[in-house]
Structure 1
């Protein structure tokens, strides 16, 4: 299968952005002369995709590390993730937070430019209407994807749905989350209309956004909106749209395009990419110069473990231990524990007893020349997640299914994990814990806690139990959101108010 290359050298100057919001060369005259051929539009669309390259790393750093899955306090020296994990207030300049804001907006700016060029020139250049619609659908899906990522981390953000120049950008304030959702939903509905099913794509394009990835994202949007508002102007709006989410999920189920794999390990097998579980993934290509493979398998793995296996240091990362409380939540026969968690190793005379997440590492595929060139895609949406999200909607009152359906979903997941004791009358709390064990390392837990309204109680209880050394701050509800990066605050002083708590 041809990979969607996320490093488009021919568009490097054309589509690049100085990352500060006030310095967007979006109206660069080069854009006016570039989109002249079908290949130009294909390359331009790949450039819109390129902002998704770091998405899985962001989930590891800002979602997984923020949650009760990891106890990632300092382990010799100050690490960028420490303030994220320990709820420091002075993290507005944290590089992970800055990256989340800047990279998502870069993707949005590229999508805006692409959509305007497609509207202006597409009909003359691309004769097939269905091809133009597919291109527009992909760009709209990606713009919605980037905006959804932003509001889950920051709440209110500037709403920019067209090409703007630098002076105008400095005048655009943060918009209410509800307004941003309006654009996201409009984009996704258009994408659903315009995009084909995965089976309708040519083999070379299987990794692109499809009708059902748009439906999956839209269902998750409805669920996230339905979560409590928590008084923070975040992504939850108390909208009670659980039925709307289920409609999207049921359409995906009825398509028969996807199915649950019988083996947990096979979902993540390097030789089984784009398997039946995959609704949407971020594609990577390896062996290029510069490297454009994935980096996420390495993010949560300490370099000394690679060294203990004879690979040499991989770049200076220290351990981010899995919390003891989570390890203890796995039942004895749960295959997900051994697959996902490395529990100790020896590095010369040093013995490390703390566990860490190794879920995405295949030792036979460790890239020798560059740690940024792993040959594995990242699964953004998988079918197991869809079914368990549907179960969550049912437990929140969505119609059309029963509690027995919820039990069936959870018990299949447990059976695949090697657990033979079925559950009956599954509760919301049990579902959340099963999701926690199933999706460890996938950056889902933090958002589950927020959407369920359990984040404050869960995190404070966990901190009291896990943080015996007193290195973490007490959790406050304001910490559901990250601060607006200080660089953005400085670009146009007074334009933004900082999020509470920072």
Structure 2
């Protein structure tokens, strides 16, 4: 899949233009003339995948940086992430916020167009019914993936399930969160039925989404919906569907397709991609012109560190320090700390004492021509995450065993990290802290705090402790959601109301 994937990205979009809601999302003549052969459908499908390319960077900029994992106030001029980290009210034109909206809708527009073409031409062009079903399953998963991402960041968003014109797009209001969830779940149910297990894919297709990735996302959807409402129109509906999530997770566990690797570092080894812990990842490959490899390894790493290692200028990024509060929560024996975090460095006469996340950087693989061309995949769902999410469900009342499904799982994760003292009767607080240490840099912490209902208490206490310089704004519960981009409000005046607090 990798070769096809980066070729499609390099070509741009074969089925849709990269446009926002006020523009024509689909070129009908292009679609009509393009989908003529089975290979056209393969290329078009990969174009739907290619909208995931910016997803890891989005997690780092909007989730990781928003959370208590990073104290990312700027010390080198105003940076785009500073308003994200410091809870500024005026971030409706922030490029990271705009990208989250536009990037996901690009993927949705491509998915809608693809499904329509598959319906009208697929049976004639693609003779194998199983191939058509698999293709539809992949696209339905991706469309659900994009909508779930939008829902978690913005709450209510426009639900567009078919190809629309620019004029039509300007008349589609934001849908209620309950309606969005119903749509997402329906797509995922179909995807589960249509997609194969990962072990059945041919070698060239191993990177494609599989039925267990769809189950993993559906389980996370149920968990997110089960979180508290927090008094906002956000992702939590207090639906108490923890048991439904466990049903999906148990299917994955029973498959025997996945397992924890014996060492933490092996999970992220560039030479060990698609390992047994990976349920779904976003594929990247280097070598195309222009560069279309990964960018996420570089996002949280200061340019001066690369310079200190002799790699020259990598783009001018300044440091986003790891919060001292998190550094203090790693035990001395925890191998994850040294793997995930670089604890200072010197660059000539300059000495940097603060720490930063270097989890995804292999210094033997630093791109020599472009910082946007890293050769490694981003793991979206991994088995350790699944086991700890199931443990969370059990602690919230889902059927399960507190010893085997919670204590044993948490201690297995801790043992791999080099921690030999077991925990007994693990609490929700302890579980969240273990997830924080395990998944630093993977963008889960912000959503964990929201889903657990602890975000307001945690962030206010953390700001009081960490922000000794008084550079951050007070946290308000409305900041669980991001603002609708001002550009979208301008495109269709009066169609959307801005989220509260902005």
TM-score in terms of structure 2 length: 0.99
Aligned-pair CA distance for 1:9: 6.2
Say whether residues 1:489 and 2:489 are aligned partners: yes
Partner of 1:38: 38
Partner of 2:135: 135
Partner of 2:23: 23
Say whether residues 1:65 and 2:65 are aligned partners: yes
Partner of 1:452: 452
- Describe the superposition over 1:242-281 as per-residue Cα deviations: whole angstroms up to 9, x where unpaired: 0000000000000000000010000000000000000000
Partner of 1:397: 397
SS at match of 2:322: coil
Say whether residues 1:463 and 2:463 are aligned partners: yes
Q: Contact 1:5–1:292 (CA<8 Å) still a contact in 2?
A: no
Partner of 1:100: 100
- Describe the superposition over 1:116-141 as per-residue Cα deviations: whole angstroms up to 9, x where unpaired: 00000000000000000000000000
- The separation in 1 between residues aligned to 2:367 and 2:208, in whole angstroms, is 25
Partner of 1:122: 122
Uncovered stretches (5+) of structure 1, i.e. residues with no partner? none
- The separation in 1 between residues aligned to 2:66 and 2:100, in whole angstroms, is 14
- Larger displacement relative to structure 2 (13-22 or 255-264): 13-22
SS at match of 2:468: coil
- Describe the superposition over 1:18-61 as per-residue Cα deviations: whole angstroms up to 9, x where unpaired: 53211123252211111010010000000000100010000000
- The separation in 2 between residues aligned to 1:346 and 1:253, in whole angstroms, is 45
Aligned-pair CA distance for 1:234: 0.5
Q: Structure 1's 393 and 9: CA in aligned 2 closer, same or farther, altered over 3 A?
A: closer
Say whether residues 1:311 and 2:311 are aligned partners: yes
- The separation in 2 between residues aligned to 1:9 and 1:29, in whole angstroms, is 21
Q: Contact 1:322–1:355 (CA<8 Å) still a contact in 2?
A: yes
Partner of 2:251: 251
Aligned-pair CA distance for 1:15: 2.8
Q: Contact 1:156–1:175 (CA<8 Å) still a contact in 2?
A: yes
SS at match of 1:253: helix
- The separation in 2 between residues aligned to 1:210 and 1:348, in whole angstroms, is 48
- Describe the superposition over 1:398-456 as per-residue Cα deviations: whole angstroms up to 9, x where unpaired: 01333443000000000000001000000000000000000000000000000000000
Q: Contact 1:26–1:109 (CA<8 Å) still a contact in 2?
A: yes
- The separation in 1 between residues aligned to 2:392 and 2:6, in whole angstroms, is 34
- The separation in 2 between residues aligned to 1:405 and 1:303, in whole angstroms, is 42
SS at match of 1:271: helix
- The separation in 2 between residues aligned to 1:95 and 1:15, in whole angstroms, is 25
- The separation in 2 between residues aligned to 1:49 and 1:13, in whole angstroms, is 11
- The separation in 2 between residues aligned to 1:379 and 1:415, in whole angstroms, is 22
SS at match of 1:364: coil
SS at match of 1:345: strand
Aligned-pair CA distance for 1:383: 0.1
Q: Contact 1:4–1:284 (CA<8 Å) still a contact in 2?
A: no
- The separation in 2 between residues aligned to 1:9 and 1:111, in whole angstroms, is 15
Query: What pairs with 1:99-498 in structure 2 (closer than 5 Å)?
Result: 99-498=99-498
- The separation in 1 between residues aligned to 2:372 and 2:13, in whole angstroms, is 22
Say whether residues 1:5 and 2:10 are aligned partners: no
- Describe the superposition over 1:47-87 as per-residue Cα deviations: whole angstroms up to 9, x where unpaired: 00010001000000000000000000011100000000000
- Larger displacement relative to structure 2 (392-401 or 249-258): 392-401
4+ aligned runs moved over 4 Å, structure 1: 1-4
- Larger displacement relative to structure 2 (282-291 or 454-463): 282-291
Count, aligned residues: 502
Q: Contact 2:17–2:27 (CA<8 Å) still a contact in 1?
A: no
SS at match of 1:313: coil
Q: Contact 1:335–1:417 (CA<8 Å) still a contact in 2?
A: yes
Q: Contact 1:11–1:43 (CA<8 Å) still a contact in 2?
A: no
- Larger displacement relative to structure 2 (463-472 or 28-37): 28-37
- The separation in 2 between residues aligned to 1:2 and 1:222, in whole angstroms, is 31
SS at match of 2:71: coil
- Describe the superposition over 1:111-164 as per-residue Cα deviations: whole angstroms up to 9, x where unpaired: 000000000000000000000000000000000000000000000000000111
Uncovered stretches (5+) of structure 2, i.e. residues with no partner? none
